[in-house]
Amino acid sequence: MRIIAGSRKGHTIVAPRGQDTRPTSDRVRENVFNLVGPVDGATVLDLYAGSGGLGLEALSRGAARAVFVDNDADAVRAIERNLEKLRLTTGVTVLRQDAVAALATEASAGRKYDLVLVDPPYDMYPDLQPKLARYLPAVLAADGLLVVETDARIEPELPLRLRTTRKYGQARVTLFEADA
């Protein structure tokens, strides 16, 4: 895996070992950011971060701050290694915590994000959707975007305005925006 664009373009990143993490492919990450557009100065929340690939890509492309959340110790170590390797440690927080619990905390604290990235294990998404629907609208900035990666057969439904949904092989990427 590598960073696709921005200040760290071409740098490789590591993913945690084992079957629990399914890193977003370079092709899908590239397409996600083609859909999202510029992220200069953005505040990013990367839930179910795994290797941190999506959030790292946002930082490389100019995002100002990022919060990475994953409850797996190996994933957190991989994120921290990638941040150090890429020298992207300013304005960054890494939380080893359940993503829904972290999301609830961020929502209750009134924190807002310009870009929220949600990439849970595909088989978990149907059970997670109601919990995500409860908290995601509260953390999305007025002009923010939410990116949800799921299995291609799943069409996420959240109480936000659907911008687009695209299939890339076994993956589906769905973009939502805050209701005006």
Q: Residue 63 and residue 81: Cα distance in Å, rounded?
A: 19
Q: Is residue 11 part of a domain?
A: no
Which pLDDT belongs to residue 5? 86
Q: Residue 153 and residue 14: Cα distance in Å, rounded?
A: 28
How many structural domains does the chain have?
1
Domain encompassing residue 93: 26-177
* Residue 42, both tokens: 């953005």
Q: Running DSSP on this structure, what letter comes out for residue 30?
A: H
pLDDT tens for 146-166 read 999 999 999 999 999 999 999
* Residue 25, both tokens: 């492919």
Q: Is residue 167 part of a domain?
A: yes
Q: Is residue 16 part of a domain?
A: no
Q: Is residue 15 part of a domain?
A: no
**In CATH, what number is assigned to the domain containing residue 42?**
3.40.50.150
Q: Is residue 6 part of a domain?
A: no
Q: Is residue 68 part of a domain?
A: yes
Q: Is residue 62 part of a domain?
A: yes
CA torsion sign, 124 to 47 to 98 to 160? Answer: negative
Which pLDDT belongs to residue 19? 47
Rounding to the nearest 10 degrees, give the CA dihedral for residues 9, 36, 42, 107: -130
Q: Is residue 2 part of a domain?
A: no
pLDDT tens for 23-43 read 677 788 889 999 999 999 999
pLDDT tens for 91-140 read 999 999 999 999 999 999 999 999 999 999 999 999 999 999 999 999 99
Measured in degrees and rounded to the nearest 5, phi and psi for residue 70 equal -155, 145
